[in-house]
Amino acid sequence: MPPDETWPTSSNFAHRAAITATTMRGTMVLVRFLQRLFRTVFQANPAASPETLLMPASIEAPDGAVPIRLRPLIEEDEYEWSQVRAVNTDWLGPWESTDPEHGANLTFAQWIARQRAEECAGTGIIFAIEYQGVIVGQISLGAVSFGALRSGIVGYWVDHRYAGHGFAPLAVTMLADWAMFAPVGPHLHRLGIDILPSNHRSRRVVEKVQATYEGVRRAYMYINGVWEDHESYAIVAQDAPEGFTKRLLERSNSTPPQ
């Protein structure tokens, strides 16, 4: 899977107790309150930024699909997220992106704070992929542009223990439907997906979502200390006017793991 960005490393985190249902409910209430507040501000003040991304509490898979959901990551996810990343170190290592100019790794709390700032700025979002209440991966929408472009770049990864069940392509289409067609989404027109030529699993994902191959971007991303070429794929809104998830489900049957 293509990497999302520079990750905070698991070794930076003190292992804390798993999040409680009460904390999750309280956080989601706060998220929904802030969303309503943002909408009120934008309606009352036309000068306020219309590009702030109003994050949904969650995006649920439709009936007939593998029952995953996408939701914003929060600080209380630190322990669980860290554990998932730790058991997938070798699985994700070959595709890991880094910033050659970046200094010390972010703490998890700093990374979450940066996510909230990017949502407010309208430049990017990150969702956890959940299955049966467990984090099984992550999907991001970065480099968001508005105006005449209205585009973004998708990155994702899935826990190796849940690979092969259609989670990644379904997450991509769910994200695309929200980003392009949701009434309170950013109404983007184009989403790009860039993968290493050797990443055959990720190529299967772009094939399943019927993304169009657009060529090779030379020295496109810094991967494990090397500027690597990437194959570039894209989907645009007119590719699936009735929704990308609907189109995916019409073409494939995903079986949830036992």
**Strand ranges across the sheet with 226-236:** 59-60, 68-72, 125-131, 134-145, 151-158, 190-195, 226-236, 212-223
- What is the architecture of the domain spanning 10-48+56-251? 3-Layer(aba) Sandwich (3.40)
Report if pTM > 0.85: no
Domain boundary assignment for the chain: 10-48+56-251
List CB contacts of 85: < 8 A, sequence separation 6 or more.
Answer: 7, 10, 92
**Under 8 Å between Cβ of 168 and 205:** yes
Q: How far is CA 251 from CA 113, 133, 231, 235, 243, in A?
A: 39, 27, 24, 16, 13
Residuewise pLDDT in 10s, the chain (258 residues): 554 544 454 444 334 433 334 444 555 555 555 554 444 444 434 434 668 999 999 999 999 999 999 999 999 999 999 999 999 999 999 998 888 887 668 899 999 999 999 999 999 999 999 999 999 999 999 999 999 999 999 999 999 999 999 999 999 999 999 999 999 999 999 999 999 999 999 999 999 999 999 999 999 999 999 999 999 999 999 999 999 999 999 987 544 555
DSSP 8-class letter at 27: H
